[in-house]
Amino acid sequence: MASSPPPTPPPAAPAAASVSVAAAQSASPRADAAERAPDALVVGGGVIGLVTAWRAALAGLRTTVVDPAPGGGAAQVAAGMLAAVTELHYGEQALLALNLASAERYPDFARELTEATGQDIGYRRNGTLSVALDADDRAHLRELHAFQAQSGLHAEWLAGRECRRLEPMLAPGVRGGLRVDGDHQVDPRLLSAALVTACERSGVRFVRRWAAALDVARERAVGVVLDDGTRLAAARTVLACGSLSGRLDGVPPAVLPPVRPVKGQVLRLTVPPERAPFLTRTVRAMVRGSQVYLVPRLSGELVVGATSEEMGWDTTVTAGGVYELLRDAHELVPGLTELPLTETSAGLRPGSPDNAPLLGPTALDGLLLATGHFRNGVLLTPLTGDALAEALTTGELPEVARPFTPGRFAPQAPYGTAAPRAAGQERPV
């Protein structure tokens, strides 16, 4: 899951507020910002914004990231499954090609990022086991297996006893499953921390403020306005704010990204050393039609997720959500309820109308998007960084990303009209 908790933007900053950028210290913010204008200004410091900034800097672009807390957001909630095969859904064949292309890049991407920072990102090539607990779920999993085969994917069907041989902690009632050795995992919290370090070492400048509005002049995006009124100019601006990407003031409605928040609740448990290894790979299951997954970390953490709720901007952890996850996980792995429950959290996936990301240049000159990754944000991190870096340097996306341009969604309104803000919507992003 690529979930993203919505930050709560602060009220308007007081006049005496500290500003961590040189432009804010100038008597003429616009002129000062213009003198220091970067080639690329990335709004949003989650994994998508950070990888975009890092790759842009490596391509030789002067790059700035605007975010009050870089490395936060989605990475603090996501489980980090790199599940191009087991996350396959009907009607998403085009997205499958993008997911597979990014999954293929992960080994080299993980190696390069670790070498650049000296930080491990928890990349594990331990595979995934997707199982069914009753006859109906088994039939559904069989249909999914056939669809995977039709799509050219490799997944091995196992009987229940073969599943339990691989993972002895599974419940005796497991009816069968799919072994997918190509679906791996990464720790998103470690990934985001490493990307912050990589950006810093590559010369990316961080502006730790909220972006309040896109700055548009003569039908071109020329930067952003911060929450303290400071203007940051840029040759090109990338909007990469996850589920908040559609809420930035000043974006013309014709190019406003149609993203929405999809709530996901996630649990974290701890496996004591004497009980390790509890699971050796990611385990997913159909439990009476509901999806549940368990992702074991080398650190002893066990991530259990995730609900999928259309609840607007609510990120409340509910008793019902925790109960449902523990109930389904217990049916899958009965010994799980003896483990310490160490964390509960909820975040927001940035959903799009077709569940696929919006990548690259928009119809507004100078504005690019990197948002709407929904449940595949962590998986698509390597490819998104490469695709946006290419778009920023050449003006074109690589071929594999071209089906996901923002232009596939019909314009909503002509230029020259400020984006409408919903009642109660915060200004800063």
DSSP 279: -
Whether 12 has a pLDDT exceeding 70, the answer reads no
Decide: 72 and 189 in contact? Cβ < 8 Å: no
Q: What is the pLDDT confidence band of residue 288, given thresholds at 50, 70 and 90?
A: confident
pLDDT, one tens digit per residue, over 67-120 is: 999 998 878 899 999 999 999 988 888 899 999 999 999 999 999 999 999 999
| Phi, psi angles (nearest 5°) of residue 47 | -60, -35
> By CB neighbour count within 10 A (0-12 exposed, 13-18 middle, 19+ buried), where does 97 fall?
middle
Percent of the chain with pLDDT over 90: 82
Closest CA to 78 of 386, 374, 402: 374
DSSP 104: H
Maximum Cα interatomic distance, the chain, rounded to a whole number of Å: 73
pLDDT of the residue at 260: 95
Percent of the chain with pLDDT over 70: 87
pLDDT, one tens digit per residue, over 236-252 is: 999 999 999 999 999 99
Element (H, E) at 48: helix 47-58
The mean per-residue pLDDT over the stretch 301-325 comes to: 95
Joined together, the tokens standing for residue 345 give 């959290």
Residues β-bridged to residue 231: 225
pLDDT, one tens digit per residue, over 30-51 is: 434 445 799 999 999 999 999 9
- Distance, CA of 94 to CA of 292 (rounded, Å): 25
Joined together, the tokens standing for residue 294 give 């368990």
Average pLDDT of every residue of the chain: 88
Whether 129 has a pLDDT exceeding 90, the answer reads yes
Whether 390 has a pLDDT exceeding 90, the answer reads yes
Whether 344 has a pLDDT exceeding 90, the answer reads yes
The mean per-residue pLDDT over the stretch 329-338 comes to: 96
DSSP 309: B
Q: What is the pLDDT confidence band of residue 411, given thresholds at 50, 70 and 90?
A: low
pLDDT of the residue at 246: 94
pLDDT of the residue at 410: 62
Other residues' Cβ atoms within 10 Å of the Cβ of residue 331: 18
Whether 21 has a pLDDT exceeding 90, the answer reads no
pLDDT, one tens digit per residue, over 253-268 is: 999 999 999 999 999 9
